[in-house]
């Protein structure tokens, strides 16, 4: 798989060509939110909700489905790595700071949406996860223009890193690996 920024550009261009009004950042954010909210890694039930939220319920063409499957698999692989290897799908560092900032906001909004689809009850979540979700809500509402200076670059870097680590925290606490799925007792209703 290509680098994260190259992936962002390639997938975002594919979405634009297919009149899908979202970015790669929001799609990966939704995947991380679903997985961080407890959706099993091997689950493939994400295509329909993704279609509902970003494509008016229309079926994605095979090229878009293939790209989404690759992004999903790549994201899952990064989440299960033990070395905190999740890389957010954002524009490259040379892109204008406001473009990168907007992509981060889209990523966080996607995360919150995906998380909400799989984790409606926060009572079992740790205080850290609850606080992180509150922080994500604050981040998602930010819309101030950033100036192209070193201070803004540092601030954006720190927020990106916080978002990245928080997504992994949610996945580590609530996410389900195939091994966890097999060890959990099945409930019959």
Q: What is the pLDDT of residue 98?
A: 93
Q: What is the pLDDT of residue 138?
A: 92
Q: What is the pLDDT of residue 149?
A: 87
What's the CATH number for 4-176?
A: 1.20.120.740
Among candidate residues 134, 144, 83, the one with its CA nearest the CA of residue 112: 134
Residue reference for tokens 């499957």: 69
- The answer to whether residue 6 scores a pLDDT higher than 50 is yes
Read off the pLDDT of each residue in 103-117 and give the average, rounded to a whole number.
94
What one-character DSSP code corresponds to residue 143? -
Among candidate residues 100, 103, 94, the one with its CA nearest the CA of residue 146: 100
Domain extents in the chain = 4-176
Q: What is the pLDDT of residue 177?
A: 61
| CA geometry: angle 11, 12, 14, nearest 5 deg | 60
Read off the pLDDT of each residue in 112-125 and give the average, rounded to a whole number.
84
40 φ, ψ to 5°?
Answer: -60, 145
Collect all residues with Cβ–Cβ distance below 8 Å to 62 and sequence separation of at least 6.
Answer: none
> What's the mean pLDDT when you consider all of the chain?
86
Chain-centroid distance, C-alpha 131: 18
Residue reference for tokens 């978002």: 163
Chain-centroid distance, C-alpha 37: 11
Both structure tokens of 23: 């970015």
At 134, the pLDDT band (50, 70, 90 cuts) reads very high
- Give the span between the Cα atoms of 21 and 106, in whole angstroms: 12
Read off the pLDDT of each residue in 127-137 and give the average, rounded to a whole number.
91
- The answer to whether residue 125 scores a pLDDT higher than 80 is yes
In this predicted model, what pLDDT tens digit does every residue of 33-86 receive, in sequence order?
A: 999 998 988 888 898 888 888 888 889 999 999 999 999 999 999 999 877 789
Alpha helix positions (H), 37-149: 47-54, 62-80, 97-118, 127-140
- The answer to whether residue 4 scores a pLDDT higher than 80 is no
Read off the pLDDT of each residue in 114-128 and give the average, rounded to a whole number.
84
Q: What percent of the chain has pLDDT over 70?
A: 90
How many CA atoms are closer than 13 Å to the CA of 76, on its beta-carbon side? 18
CB 136 within 8 A of CB 112: yes
> Model pTM?
0.88
Q: What is the pLDDT of residue 189?
A: 38
Read off the pLDDT of each residue in 104-122 and give the average, rounded to a whole number.
90
């Amino acid at each position: 798989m290509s680098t994260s920024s190259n992936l962002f550009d390639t997938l975002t261009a594919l979405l634009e060509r297919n009149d899908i009004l979202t970015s790669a950042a929001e799609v990966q954010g939704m995947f991380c939110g679903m997985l961080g909210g407890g959706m099993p890694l091997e689950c493939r039930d994400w295509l329909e909700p993704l279609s509902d939220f970003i494509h008016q319920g229309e079926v994605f063409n095979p090229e878009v489905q293939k790209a989404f499957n690759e992004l999903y698999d790549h994201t899952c692989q990064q989440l299960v790595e033990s070395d905190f290897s999740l890389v957010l799908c954002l524009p490259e560092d040379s892109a204008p700071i406001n473009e990168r900032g907007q992509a981060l906001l889209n990523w966080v909004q996607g995360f919150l949406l995906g998380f909400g689809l799989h984790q409606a009850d926060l009572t079992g979540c740790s205080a850290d996860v609850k606080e992180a979700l509150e922080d994500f809500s604050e981040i998602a509402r930010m819309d101030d223009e950033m100036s192209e200076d070193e201070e803004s670059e540092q601030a954006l870097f720190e927020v990106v890193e916080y978002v990245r680590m928080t997504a992994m925290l949610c996945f580590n606490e609530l996410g389900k690996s195939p091994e966890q799925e097999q060890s959990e007792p099945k409930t019959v209703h």
